[in-house]
């Protein structure tokens, strides 16, 4: 096990009606709030009205930034910073999924940064201080509600990059699974694929002696497999929604990655797909993952895939190693298909044209991963296999 | 899944030489420290000298409370409070296992309490404020390094009771697995049993829909089973010591219990054994656990034991339910025996004499548990079965 420093300071209020803590928790930070949200689904489910009512009853002043995009853009971040500065905002409350929360985080960091906000996306070391962030989660997927990272897109440069700072972790997040009852089937599916991808990125690793972390990763994968389809078939199944929601947070808050070398190469490859084609992140991950697995499978890594197949998919351990590995990868692909997710790039409108450019950009910061290091030609091979 | 509020604020510095952060972390709280430790094993391994050296080099003033007992006594707590008040201590640093850390926690709480410290053990609601606590862990067992509870013994009343307050959670804990290399075989065994018991107390529950938590609990149990014997046979096996150490913290910091109804009846029964006979806590737990399991097994609970047997012990799921359950319990008992732990009360010097008195005292705050509620006659039956 590698050395690590563990700090997960975000408070989570989990369950039905937990929004009751909102006013009290906000007041720990101040009473001037920027409310950040996306396309208006929070209005449809009555959550927006509920929040405004709480604000009004508790003398909390608020300003709004709405229309944050599914792949949140730097232009929205800039708008948010402007509102915060003009109105001396004390806390940014993101209500939505990961995109909304990511946007809020970078607004919070940009508030204290003198230059243009894209600088702190390109180079997180320029972040020194962050306005307090909080979230009310309405989509189980990115884990942004409990981690310190954010991914922002710059359409001018086709850039989609991750940044982060410890103070970008929300002070608190409210996780009420009933807010995800109305999430459409395709987004539930993509969210589940996103959660699973976060787990894969830290599960497949050169660190062999992180037994505990690996067994926990398998616990989370089994939860996604057990409830992914159920949440699609029965959108108001509280048990399914609750398990997926809590899994989304634990998948990426550090619990599974502390003490391990981590990978994150599928995410880096997918970010190019979303940046160039604006596709749904979880869909891109689900398409690429089985192909990455096949590409990463070799004599050095086969035991990891056997462990995955046996412990997660219940494959008989007494077969040929490579057969077990291939079977585990096949089951992974079949699971994503069973959720109704497309299984090829062409199905989501991506052809060969930009693959080479995307492969170069995906590796512009250097090789991806260490479990199976990927350079631009490797990434191109994986993109092509996924066509 | 039940509603819950998650907050685990303790920072963990995990790994070799992590003591390097000590001075910096202390200085976040002040520079006047009470150093709390037990019988002197920290001197044998050179840890005491190392700490004193860090104190001296960093102008940290310190006072000492040594000789804290394996079942820490209220008399030690009172001594510690006295030292803290006289010297205006700003942080209490416990160096040792759970007993030492528990003692430090109640000293910290007692510092701000006007009456006798036993009052705040009897009634945790009397705790309002706590001096900052920190720990350097030298024994993987209680999880006190990352939770907010403490157990204190009063020999005058044969009382051994748990208390707690959110601010009793350490500000930081240093977990260097090499500090456990010299832990004797019997204490390694008892520590492993203690960790497993913490997991059992929250794993066996009436809450059926906490799938994620149950799979994580199994992950931790498998880690104990995989490394318990190894750490005994190869005391300097870093991988084994590291996995057990991190498991000890995660077993009881809330991760497994959030969202569930929990049990804690074996702990309550064992506390009487330690209070009356001063036996090692983990040994008492290992002796009682299989008997509690057999007693708790019935038509309402059999599925939980089947899940345990299949997922943790790899028992074929296609057999008779009760056979699987009994087999799982048998494997549990055999595992504890394989660690060299006695399997009956008589072996640790406990006869029939006080069983009835202990059973009454164990249930003096009401029935134990909800998965299988136990009144005094039930507890007596379990004690007798364990003779």
List the domain boundaries for chain B. 11-179, 183-385
The chain B residue lying nearest A245, using CA atoms, is B212
Q: What is the dihedral of CA A33, A39, A40, A45, to 10 degrees?
A: -100
Q: How far apart are CA B266 and CA B201, in angstroms?
A: 7
Angstrom distances, CA of residue A333 to CA of A271, A285, A299, A319, A346: 20, 11, 22, 20, 16
pLDDT tens profile A210-256: 999 999 999 999 999 999 999 999 999 999 999 999 999 999 999 99
Q: Which of A218, A223, A238 sits opposite B211 (nearest CB)?
A: A223
SS3 A14: strand
| pLDDT in the model for residue A39 | 87
Q: How far apart are CA B252 and CA B230, in angstroms?
A: 22
Cβ separation A12–B5 shorter than 8 A: yes
Q: How far apart are CA B313 and CA B74, in angstroms?
A: 40
The chain A residue lying nearest B255, using CA atoms, is A250
DSSP string, B278-323: ---HHHHHHHHHHHHHHHH-STTTHHHHHHHHHHHH---TTS-HHH
Cβ separation B215–A211 shorter than 8 A: no
Find which of B212, B241, B244, B318 to mutate to test the A interface (most A CBs within 10 Å of its CB). B212
Note whether A339 and A186 are within 8 A (CB): no
Q: How far apart are CA B210 and CA A57, in angstroms?
A: 35
SS3 A61: strand
Q: 């059973």: which residue's tokens?
A: B359
| pLDDT in the model for residue A134 | 98
Can you state the angle between helices A211-233 and A185-203, rounded to 10 degrees?
170
The two domains A11-179 and A183-385 share their CATH topology (first three levels equal): no
| Closest residue by Cα to residue B8 from B199, B255, B215 | B255
Kindly state the greatest CA–CA separation across chain A. Answer: 66
Burial label, A356 (beta-carbon count in 10 A; 0-12, 13-18, 19+): middle
3-state helix, strand, coil in chain A (%, to 5): 55, 15, 35
| Residue stretches of chain A with pLDDT short of 50 | none
| Closest residue by Cα to residue A248 from A138, A172, A371, A153 | A138
Q: How far apart are CA B276 and CA B293, in angstroms?
A: 23
| Closest residue by Cα to residue B5 from B364, B259, B275 | B259
Burial label, B309 (beta-carbon count in 10 A; 0-12, 13-18, 19+): buried
| pLDDT in the model for residue B365 | 87
Residues near B56 by beta carbon (within 8 Å), at least 6 away in sequence: none
The tokens for A360 are 């170069």
Other C-beta atoms lying within 10 Å of the C-beta of residue A207: 17
| pLDDT in the model for residue A218 | 98
Cβ separation B11–A15 shorter than 8 A: no
The whole-angstrom distance between residue B224's C-alpha and the CA centroid of its chain comes to 14
CB pairs < 8 Å spanning A and B? 119
Cβ separation A223–B243 shorter than 8 A: no
pLDDT tens profile B39-94: 889 999 999 999 999 999 999 999 999 999 988 999 999 999 999 999 999 999 99
This model of the complex carries an ipTM of: 0.96
Q: How far apart are CA A188 and CA A92, in angstroms?
A: 26
| pLDDT in the model for residue A365 | 87
Note whether B356 and B261 are within 8 A (CB): no
Beta-strand pair A61-65/A32-37: parallel
For residue B246, list chain A residues with Cβ-Cβ distance below 8 A: 1, 212, 259
B100: enclosing H helix or E strand: helix B98-110
B306: enclosing H helix or E strand: helix B302-313
Note whether B277 and B350 are within 8 A (CB): yes
DSSP string, B46-94: THHHHHHHHHHHTT-EEEEE----SS-BHHHHHHHHHHHHHHT--EEEE
Q: How far apart are CA B94 and CA B27, in angstroms?
A: 16
pLDDT tens profile B166-199: 999 999 999 999 999 999 999 999 999 999 999 9
Find which of A2, A5, A6, A12 to mutate to test the B interface (most B CBs within 10 Å of its CB). A6
Note whether A332 and A289 are within 8 A (CB): yes
Q: Which CATH class is domain A183-385?
A: mainly alpha
Residues near A178 by beta carbon (within 8 Å), at least 6 away in sequence: A16, A238, A241
Sign of the CA dihedral with B58 first, then B60, B64, and B69 last = negative
User: pLDDT tens track of chain B, all 387 residues?
Assistant: 999 999 999 999 999 999 999 999 999 999 999 999 998 899 999 999 999 999 999 999 999 999 999 889 999 999 999 999 999 999 999 999 999 999 999 999 999 999 999 999 999 999 999 999 999 999 999 999 999 999 999 989 888 889 999 999 999 999 999 999 999 999 999 999 999 999 999 999 999 999 999 999 999 999 999 999 999 999 999 999 999 999 999 999 999 999 999 999 999 999 999 989 989 999 999 999 999 999 999 999 999 999 999 999 999 999 999 999 999 999 999 999 999 999 999 999 999 999 999 999 999 989 999 999 999 999 999 999 999
Note whether B34 and B93 are within 8 A (CB): yes
| pLDDT in the model for residue B31 | 96
Average of per-residue pLDDT values in chain B: 97
Residues near A126 by beta carbon (within 8 Å), at least 6 away in sequence: A113, A115, A119, A120
Note whether A93 and A134 are within 8 A (CB): yes
Residues near A370 by beta carbon (within 8 Å), at least 6 away in sequence: A206, A261, A263
SS3 A92: strand
Q: How far apart are CA A138 and CA A99, in angstroms?
A: 11
Cβ separation A1–B242 shorter than 8 A: yes
The chain A residue lying nearest B213, using CA atoms, is A219
Phi-psi region of A88 (alpha: psi -120 to 50; beta: other; left: phi over 0): left
The whole-angstrom distance between residue A214's C-alpha and the CA centroid of its chain comes to 20
Find which of B195, B215, B248 to mutate to test the A interface (most A CBs within 10 Å of its CB). B215
Name the CATH topology of A11-179: Rossmann fold (3.40.50)
The chain A residue lying nearest B243, using CA atoms, is A212
């Amino acid at each position: 096990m590698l050395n690590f420093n563990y700090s997960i300071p975000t408070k989570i209020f989990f369950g039905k009606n937990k929004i009751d803590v909102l006013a009290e928790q906000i007041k720990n930070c101040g009473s001037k709030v920027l409310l950040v949200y996306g396309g208006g689904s929070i209005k449809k489910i009555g959550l927006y009205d509920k929040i405004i009512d709480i604000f009004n009853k508790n003398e909390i002043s608020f300003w709004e930034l709405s229309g944050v995009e599914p792949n949140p853009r730097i232009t929205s971040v800039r708008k948010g910073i402007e509102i915060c500065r003009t109105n001396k905002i004390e806390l940014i409350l993101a209500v939505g999924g990961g995109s909304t929360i990511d946007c809020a985080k970078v607004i919070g960091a940009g508030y204290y940064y003198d230059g243009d906000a894209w600088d702190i996306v390109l180079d997180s070391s320029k972040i020194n201080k962050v306005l307090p962030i909080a979230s009310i989660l309405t989509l189980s997927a990115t884990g942004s509600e409990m981690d310190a990272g954010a991914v922002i897109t710059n359409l001018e440069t086709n850039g989609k990059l991750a940044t982060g700072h410890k103070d970008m972790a929300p002070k608190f997040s409210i996780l009420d699974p009933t807010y995800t009852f109305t999430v459409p089937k395709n987004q539930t599916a993509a969210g589940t694929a996103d959660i699973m991808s976060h787990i894969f990125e830290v599960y497949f690793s050169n660190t062999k002696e992180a037994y505990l972390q690996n067994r926990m990763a398998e616990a989370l994968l089994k939860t996604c497999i057990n409830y992914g389809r159920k949440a699609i078939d029965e959108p108001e199944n509280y048990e399914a929604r609750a398990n997926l929601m809590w899994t989304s947070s634990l998948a990426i808050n550090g619990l599974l990655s502390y003490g391990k070398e981590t990978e994150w190469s599928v995410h880096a490859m997918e970010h190019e797909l979303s940046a160039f084609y604006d596709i749904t992140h979880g869909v891109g991950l689900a398409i690429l993952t089985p192909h990455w697995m096949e590409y990463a499978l070799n004599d050095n890594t086969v035991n990891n895939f056997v462990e995955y197949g046996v412990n997660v998919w219940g494959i008989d351990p007494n077969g040929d190693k490579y057969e077990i590995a291939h079977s585990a990868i096949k089951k992974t692909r079949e699971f994503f298909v069973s959720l109704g997710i497309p299984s090829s790039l062409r199905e989501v409108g991506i052809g060969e044209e930009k693959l080479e450019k995307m492969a170069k950009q995906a590796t512009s910061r250097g090789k991806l991963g260490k479990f199976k290091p990927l350079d631009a030609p490797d990434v191109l091979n994986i993109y092509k296999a996924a066509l």
